[in-house]
Amino acid sequence: PFSYFIRPVHLRASAFTKAFSPDWLQGAFLLIPRLAFSKIGGFDEQIFMYAEDIDICLRLKQAGLNIYYQPAPFITHLQSKASSSSFALLSEIDGIKYLVKKYLPTWQYPLANLIIKTGSLLRFLIFGIILADDQKRHVYFTALSR
């Protein structure tokens, strides 16, 4: 219900019918020429998962290369169960915090951290308390303590 007011971070391929140049694409949609990948130094080893796609796209743009979304051919990403695991949720939060530290001015980190913690608190209350999901209660409680 919130997607009407707040667009999801991850692109949904079916939502776009024309080619355009976004700031970043979800990793499942990326095809990067070997020379471009080498030019930016490959993956940042500080990011295990769940923010590497944003980092790669930012570094490609910094290197003067463009990111393009092409609606055809169509790619279907079959999401695994791991993407909803506690590890995945915490890794995504850690990855976003790392990117904020890496790319934004130092003074912005406390604000970004407050936003992340507020989101974690809301999810803790909604999913963990109101909907009584033990796994989400635990993971968002853990996120709040980081």
pLDDT in tens, 5-15: 554 445 555 56
Our measurement of the distance from residue 105's CA atom to the centroid of its chain's CA atoms, rounded to an integer in Å, reads 19
d(CA 127, CA 122): 8
d(CA 28, CA 127): 27
Q: Could you count the other beta carbons within 10 Å of the beta carbon of residue 26?
A: 17
pLDDT, tens only, 69-126: 888 777 776 766 555 688 888 888 999 999 999 999 999 999 999 999 999 999 999 9
pLDDT, tens only, 32-61: 999 999 999 999 999 988 889 999 999 999
d(CA 56, CA 52): 6
Model pLDDT, residue 76: 72
Q: Is the pTM of this model over 0.95?
A: no
